[in-house]
Amino acid sequence: MKSVSIKKIVSHGLIYAFLFVISGIVIYPILYSFMGSLKPVSELLTGNTFFPQEVVWRNYVRAFKEAKFFTYTGNSIFYSVAGTIISMFNVCALGFCLARQDFAGKKILRLLILGTMFVALGPMTLYPKLEIMRSLGITGTRLSILLGIITTSSAEVFIFEAYFRSQGKEIDEAAEIDGCNLFQRFFYMGLPLGKPLIGTFSVIFFNRIWNDFFWPYVMTFTNTKIQPLVVAVIALKDSTGEAATEWGLLLAGASLAILPVVIVYICTSKWVVAGVTEGAVKM
């Protein structure tokens, strides 16, 4: 009994130590950015201390004004919410069809989706997407940004497919007897049954789209008014017109940019955990 208890203590200690190290690695950059945003330029450039010797809040005041926080945050919220809804619908619908519907070319479609897991589609699709936007004449518009940041991945599709397949086809057979077609089964059965996973991946999609930088940066060269917050924050380094970058101002803007995502995660963390655990049990 003593050996068992010692093993448990050691194993739990190692687990907590590992989690502590990982948490420190994740949290340290955030704390460093926040502490750096409170330092004057002279203290920040020397880099002698982690905590500010002199707390300076004017960096936040300047970032709030020069980054037009409310305007660009509104843009980011629009892109993130709309992109999350569209992406979530695509993944959920495709996973439902692969799990509950037989159609010609299904195996080929699954192989094509599976093949995208091993290819870095981001760099490969940038130029084709840009040419499509140019041919449609919508570059520099909100629509071009939204179409470019809609995010899906094969892993998420297969997770939803496994989730819907685990529920059995008896529900579909009962719905077909009642006269429901594929679309009715998806909207009245698939979406309600998939709520745990939908809640989890909605937060993931929201965070991914909120932090997307390169595509919105390319699309807003000619129209800075539609920039999301993460792109507008980077522009702060050139806002003074001086040769030296004001890192305190830039770090304050970065801290403001991650604040909404942190708030969203804190408010939805229990749904994320519930979705992950229920999805694991279902699969």
Tell me, yes or no, whether 163 and 274 share the same domain. Answer: yes
pLDDT band, residue 18 (cuts 50/70/90): very high
Instruction: Give the C-alpha separation, 228 to 50, whole Å.
Output: 30
Residue 107 and residue 31 share a domain:
no
Q: Are residues 51 and 86 in the same domain?
A: no
- Give the H or E element holding residue 118: none
d(CA 258, CA 30): 9
Residue type, 159: I
CB 279 within 8 A of CB 163: yes
SS3 of residue 26 by DSSP: helix
Average pLDDT value for the chain: 79
Which residues, 6 or more positions from 88, have their beta carbon under 8 angstroms from its beta carbon? 198, 201, 202, 205
Domain co-membership, 100 together with 177: yes
Among 34, 56, 78, the domain boundary falls at 56
- Whether residue 183 sits in one domain with residue 231: yes
- In this structure, is residue 180 part of a structural domain? yes
User: Which amino acid is it at 48?
Assistant: N
Q: pTM for the complete prediction?
A: 0.78
Tell me, what CATH number does 180's domain have? 1.10.3720.10
Residues 197, 76 within the same domain: yes
The residue written with tokens 């940038």 in the block is 126
Q: What is the dihedral of CA 48, 51, 56, 58, to 10 degrees?
A: 100
Assess whether 33 and 132 both reside in one domain. no
Q: Which pLDDT tens digit goes with each residue over 65-121?
A: 776 778 888 899 999 999 999 988 888 888 888 888 888 888 888 888 877 777 666
Torsions phi, psi of 141, nearest 5? -120, 165
**Same domain membership, residue 267 and residue 223:** yes
Q: Are 73 and 46 found together in one domain?
A: no
| Res 255: pLDDT | 81
CA distance 47 to 111: 52
Check whether residue 41 and residue 107 sit in a common domain.
no
Nearest residue to 27 via CA among 35, 37, 38:
35
Structural domain harbouring 48: 1-56
Same-domain check for residues 203 and 115 = yes
Are 116 and 154 spatial neighbours (Cβ–Cβ below 8 Å)? yes
- Residue-wise pLDDT for 178-210, tens only, equals 777 878 888 888 788 888 788 888 888 888 888
Indicate the SS3 state at residue 58.
helix
Tell me how many degrees the CA angle 191-193-194 measures, rounded to the nearest 5. 65
